[in-house]
Amino acid sequence: MSYQVRLEVFEGPLDLLLHLIKKDELNIYDIPISTITQQYFEYIDLMKELNLDIAGEYILMAATLTHIKSKMLLPQEEKVGEEEETEDPRAELVRRLLEYRKFKEAAEDLCEREDIWRDVFYPKNEVSSEFEEEEVMLDVGIFDLIDAFKEIIQRMPDNKTSIDIIPEELTVRGRMSALIERLDVTGPEGLTLWALLEGDTTRRAIVVTFLALLELAKLHLIRLLQIEGDDTLRICRISSNDEAGEAEGGDADDKETD
C-alpha cells in the first residue's frame, strides 16, 4: 500500500499553529480556538496515520489547546470586589505565537543574507606561510580538545577491544602532576598535544591524559592554545601571577572586533 501525501514540515507546534492561522487568514489576536484546535488535531491524526513520530511538544500543545478551549466555554465569573480583569485564556498562547513569529521572520532575513554571502569569496591567506609570521595564539575551548582526542583515538592502530595490562601508577592524579612537571620545564611556549601523548600507547593511557588535561584546565593550571591557521593544540602552563592578565587578554581579543 503506497500513497503520497503532501505534508509540510513544521519546526514544531508553534510553527504548525502559525501555518494554520495564516492558511485561513485568521486574526492572530482573536483566534477561533475551537476551529484551530480541531485543525490541529486533524494534523496530529495525519501524522499518526503516516507513522511519523509525534514529538512530545505536539502533544503538550494539544493539551494546552484543549485546556484553553474548555476555559473559553466556562461562563465568565464576575468577581465582585476584585478590580482585575480576567485575562483572556488565549493571551499566553498569542504572546508565544507572536514572539515565535518575530524570530521566524528574523530567521528568514538571515536566510536571505546567507544566500548572498555564500557567493562572496575572499583572497586566501596563502602568503602567510611564507612569512615568519608572529604566531597568533588562540584560546581553545574544551570542545576543540575533545575533537582532538576523538581524532587521536580514531587514528590509533589498534581500535579493537584488547585487554590492557594497566600498571598501578596510571591514575589521573599521577598524570596531572607528571604533566605539570613537564610543562614547568618547557616554559611559556608549552608543548603540543602530540608531544604530551608520546608515551601513551594505549587507549586507556590516552584517556587518562585527556582527563588529567581537563582537570588541569578546570583548575586554571594550564591553558589550551592553538596557533592561528593550524590545528595543532598546544598546552601551556599558567603561572598563578599572570592568570588574571591572561584572562583579560582573551576578552580583549573579542572586543577588538567592535
Partner 1 sequence: MEDAEIKAVIETLLFISGESLSVNRIKNVLEDVDLSKIKSLFWELQHEYEMRSSGLRIVEIAGGFQIATRPEFAGWIKKLKKVKQSSKLSRPSLETLAIIAYKQPIVKAEIEDIRGVDSTGVIKGLLDKHLLKIIGRKDVPGRPILYATTREFLQYFGLREISDLPTLKEFTELMEEDESITTSEAQSITAIES
Applying CB under 8 A, the residues found at the interface with partner 1 are: 11-15, 29, 55, 57, 61, 91, 94-96, 98-100, 102-111, 113-128, 141, 143, 254, 256-258
- Closest-CA residue to 205 (of 179, 170, 241): 170
Which distant-in-sequence residues (6+ apart) come within 8 Å of 192 by Cβ? 232, 233, 234, 235
**Shortest spacing between CB 198 and partner 1, in angstroms:** 28
- Closest-CA residue to 151 (of 192, 199, 206): 206
**Shortest spacing between CB 125 and partner 1, in angstroms:** 2
Q: Which is nearer to partner 1, 7 or 106 (CB)?
A: 106
Q: Which is nearer to partner 1, 46 or 60 (CB)?
A: 60
**Shortest spacing between CB 141 and partner 1, in angstroms:** 7
Q: Which is nearer to partner 1, 125 or 177 (CB)?
A: 125
**Shortest spacing between CB 106 and partner 1, in angstroms:** 4
How far is the C-alpha of 200 from the C-alpha of 207, rounded, in Å?
9
Q: Which is nearer to partner 1, 46 or 107 (CB)?
A: 107
Which distant-in-sequence residues (6+ apart) come within 8 Å of 28 by Cβ? 21, 94, 97, 98, 101
Cell numbers representing residue 44 in the block: 496530529
**Shortest spacing between CB 197 and partner 1, in angstroms:** 23
Q: Which is nearer to partner 1, 139 or 205 (CB)?
A: 139
Sign of the Cα torsion 70, 75, 81, 86 reads positive
* C-beta of residue 205 within 8 angstroms of C-beta of residue 149: no
